[in-house]
């Protein structure tokens, strides 16, 4: 059965769009480091770059969701085999991108949390990395369920707090955002536009690590219009939040860049400078909890995949098996964390972004668009029925000997 004309309710589309919004605007976004690294230094062109990045991410996710839902696919591997066909084996390119990017995300979460501890309590950064890594390991083994259940609320809390800081920061700056943008345009003109375009693609590229989550959560969108509505709603939310952060950081750039280590978590530096003690404390607590929960939930997903590998099958105890895999991932992530949050985001995310451009963004916005249009035209715009889990068939009793033979086979 095909579905085509059913109208998608606003709340249903909004809930799917909110998934992409929360996946993008998490703890890493709330530090302000991503905005500072990719946009603030470009002035007015950086603002335009942020909007273009969100547009690219939105269009990529829309095509991925249409391809996934229209054909009734059941996993991201099938999605990329469909995209790359007849070169199905190229799916390993996305797998490489995905695993490296996830490691970078865990490393950034550990590094961000350690940096927050350094700022708030004066703890040595490297000791902070070890402490956070140990905490994440313990929580991954013994408390992943609790953390995963609470992660959504922590994400909402840090997002609300960060956006509050952005709004307060913009209005409390000595310079208005229009003055800052006008002054920058007079100085640089269009000189930074090429870099702004590259950064937009790069940012969209590494954000595509959320694609498997996005398509899995978007299966309720049963027509092209529903997919588009959900993604355009996410574009509005993502673009507004990202532009607000860039505006605030542009207004305070001369301040936080003048503080030692101020660019690591620039949002926190600005908050401290404004002297709003209550907001600073709330932000710090929410940021720390959100970054730790990001590390735990990400590693938990990794563990679920890797503990099924043949090398671990000999370990009978599930907790021991999980602990070994978790420890390996965390040690690797901690090693990456030693280079610092800014380097992880600039180089780790940056190079992953280049790979994401090549294996996700460009393929979906070219081949993906073509294949989706061709498929929908051939099927009169209708989507395949959503896959369902079928109940296992009831087997009739068999004689003992044939059943034993079947089991032996």
Q: What is 199-244 written as a DSSP string?
A: HHHHHHHHHGGGHHHHHHHTTT--SHHHHHHHHHHHHHHHHHHHHH
Pull the structure tokens for residue 296.
């735990």
Categorize the per-residue pLDDT at 5 as very low, low, confident or very high, splitting at 50, 70 and 90. low
Question: pLDDT tens across 246-304, in order?
Answer: 999 999 999 999 998 889 999 999 999 998 889 899 998 888 888 888 888 788 777 77
Q: With respect to residue 79, please indicate whether it lies within any of the assigned structural domains.
A: yes
Whether omega before 86 lies within 30 degrees of 0, making that bond cis, reads yes
Give percent of the chain with pLDDT exceeding 70.
92
Hey, which residues does 3 pair with through a beta bridge?
Answer: 383
- Phi/psi for 313 (5° steps) reads -65, -25
Beta-bridged to residue 384, according to DSSP, are 2
- The pair of structure tokens assigned to 265 is 């978590």
398 belongs to a structural domain: no
Residue 402 lies in a domain: no
Residue 402: predicted pLDDT: 40
Structure tokens at 33: 């480091």
Give CA–CA dist 362/99, Å, rounded. Answer: 20
Would the pLDDT of 129 be above 80? yes
Per the structure, the complete domain to which residue 273 belongs is given by 8-385
Choose the weakest-confidence range: 16-30, 74-88, 307-321: 307-321
Q: Please report, for the domain that includes residue 87, its CATH number.
A: 1.20.1730.10
| Number of neighbouring beta carbons within 10 Å of residue 124 | 12
Strand 2-3 and strand 383-384: the pairing is antiparallel
Assess contact for 264 and 117: CB atoms under 8 A: no
**CA–CA separation, 239 and 246 (whole Å):** 10
The predicted structure's pLDDT at residue 290: 85
Q: Which residue has the tokens 């079947």?
A: 406
Distant-in-sequence, close-in-space partners of 398: CB < 8 Å, separation ≥ 6: 406
CA separation for the pair 299, 79 (Å, rounded): 23
The pLDDT of 202-221, averaged and rounded, is 92
Question: Using an 8 Å Cβ cutoff, are 116 and 288 in contact?
Answer: yes
How many Å apart are CA 174 and CA 256, to the nearest integer? Answer: 14
Q: Which of 291, 308, 299 has its CA nearest to residue 142?
A: 299
Residue whose pair of structure tokens reads 């640089």 in the numeric block: 188
pLDDT per residue as tens digits for the range 74-108: 889 999 999 999 999 999 999 999 999 989 999 99
242 falls within a domain: yes
**Res 388: pLDDT:** 61
- Distance between CA 50 and CA 60 in Å, rounded? 15
Query: Quick count: other Cβ atoms within 10 Å of Cβ 231?
Result: 27
CB 137 within 8 A of CB 322: no
pLDDT digits (tens, 9 = 90+) for 325-364: 889 889 999 999 999 999 999 999 999 999 999 999 999 9
184-203 per-position pLDDT tens digit:
999 999 999 999 999 999 99
Q: 3-state DSSP call for residue 8?
A: coil
pTM: 0.88
Q: Has residue 351 been placed in a domain?
A: yes
| Residue 27 falls inside a structural domain | yes
Residue 100 lies in a domain: yes
Torsion, Cα of 359, 365, 370, 371 (10° steps): 50
The Cα 232–Cα 405 span in angstroms is 57
pLDDT at 190: 96
Any domain includes 395: no
Average pLDDT over residues 134-155: 79
Please state the domain count of the chain. 1
The number of C-alpha atoms within 13 Å of 131 and in the hemisphere containing its C-beta is: 14
């Amino acid at each position: 059965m095909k579905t085509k004309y059913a109208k998608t309710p606003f709340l249903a589309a909004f809930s799917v769009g909110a998934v992409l919004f929360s996946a993008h605007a998490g703890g890493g976004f709330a530090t302000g480091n991503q905005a500072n690294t990719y946009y603030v230094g470009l002035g007015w062109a950086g603002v335009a770059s942020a909007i273009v990045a969100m547009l690219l991410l939105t269009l990529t996710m829309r095509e991925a969701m249409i391809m996934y839902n229209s054909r009734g696919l059941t996993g991201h591997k099938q999605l990329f085999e469909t995209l790359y066909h007849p070169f199905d084996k190229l799916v390993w390119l996305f797998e490489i991108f995905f695993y490296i990017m996830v490691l970078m995300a865990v490393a950034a979460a550990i590094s961000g949390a350690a940096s927050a501890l350094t700022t708030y309590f004066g703890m040595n950064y490297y000791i902070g990395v070890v402490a956070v890594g140990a905490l994440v390991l313990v929580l991954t083994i013994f408390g992943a369920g609790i953390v995963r259940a609470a992660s959504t609320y922590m994400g909402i809390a840090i997002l609300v707090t960060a956006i509050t800081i952005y709004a307060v920061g913009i209005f409390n700056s000595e310079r208005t955002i229009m003055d800052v943008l006008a002054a920058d345009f007079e100085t640089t003109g269009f000189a930074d536009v090429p870099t702004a375009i590259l950064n937009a693609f790069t940012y969209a590229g590494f954000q595509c690590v959320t694609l498997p989550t996005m398509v899995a959560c978007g299966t309720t969108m049963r027509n092209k219009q529903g997919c588009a509505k959900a993604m355009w709603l996410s574009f509005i939310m993502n673009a507004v939040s990202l532009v607000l952060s860039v505006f605030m950081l542009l207004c305070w750039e001369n301040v936080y860049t003048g503080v030692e280590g101020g660019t690591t978590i620039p949002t926190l530096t600005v908050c401290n400078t404004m002297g709003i003690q209550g907001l600073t404390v709330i932000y710090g607590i929410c940021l720390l909890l959100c970054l730790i929960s990001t590390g735990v939930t990400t590693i938990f997903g990794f563990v679920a995949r890797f503990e099924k590998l043949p090398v671990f099958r000999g370990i009978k105890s599930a907790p021991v098996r999980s602990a070994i895999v978790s420890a390996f991932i965390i040690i690797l992530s901690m090693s990456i964390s030693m280079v610092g949050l800014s380097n992880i985001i600039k180089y780790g995310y940056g190079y992953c972004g280049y790979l994401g451009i090549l294996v996700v963004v460009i393929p979906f916005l070219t081949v993906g668009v073509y294949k989706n249009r061709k498929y929908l035209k051939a099927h009169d715009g209708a989507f395949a029925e959503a896959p369902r889990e079928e109940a296992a068939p009831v087997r009739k009793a068999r004689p003992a000997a044939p059943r034993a033979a079947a089991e032996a086979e």
